[in-house]
Amino acid sequence: MTTAADHDAYLAAAPEHFQPPLRRLRTLLSRTLPEADEIVAYHMPGFRIDGTVVASYAAFSKQCGLYLLPGALTAHSEEIAAAGFRATKTGITFSPRRPIPDDLVERLARASRGEARGVRTR
C-alpha cells in the first residue's frame, strides 16, 4: 500500500476485503484509547499517547496486523495463543475471515497504554 495522510485515507486505499476488520480495529482502539492522537507512522495508522505510538494496524497482501508495545504482547501471550493467534515481539497478524476478538484487542491496547506510561496492566 502507498503512504496515506490519515486513517481514513489508509482505510480507503486498503484492499476491500481488509477494510471491515481494519475499520473495526480503528473503532476499538479509538474507544479504548480515547486520549490518543490518531497518526500515521511507519506507513501505518496508529494511536499515539504522550509521544509514544501505543497501537497501530496495517494491511498486507494476505493478512492484517495489529501492533503494540512488546510488553503488552508478552503479558497476554497465553491469551493470544489460546485464541489461536501467533504473536511476534510487536504484533499479531490475522486474516479478515478470522479477526482478533474485540475483548482481546481492548485488553492489549490497555496494556500497551500502561506500558507507555510505565504501569504494568493485565
The structure's pTM equals: 0.92
- Cβ neighbours for 50, distance < 8 A, ≥ 6 positions apart: 116, 117
DSSP 117: T
User: What span, in angstroms and rounded, lies between the C-alpha atoms of 48 and 2?
Assistant: 21
Classified as helix, coil or strand, 57 is strand
Q: Which three cell numbers stand for residue 105?
A: 484487542
- pLDDT of 2: 55
Cα separation, 43 vs 72, in Å, equals: 22
Q: Which grid cell sits at 32?
A: 479504548
pLDDT per residue as tens, the chain (122 positions): 557 889 999 999 999 999 999 999 999 999 999 999 999 998 999 999 999 999 999 999 999 999 999 999 999 999 999 999 999 999 999 999 999 999 999 999 999 999 998 865 55
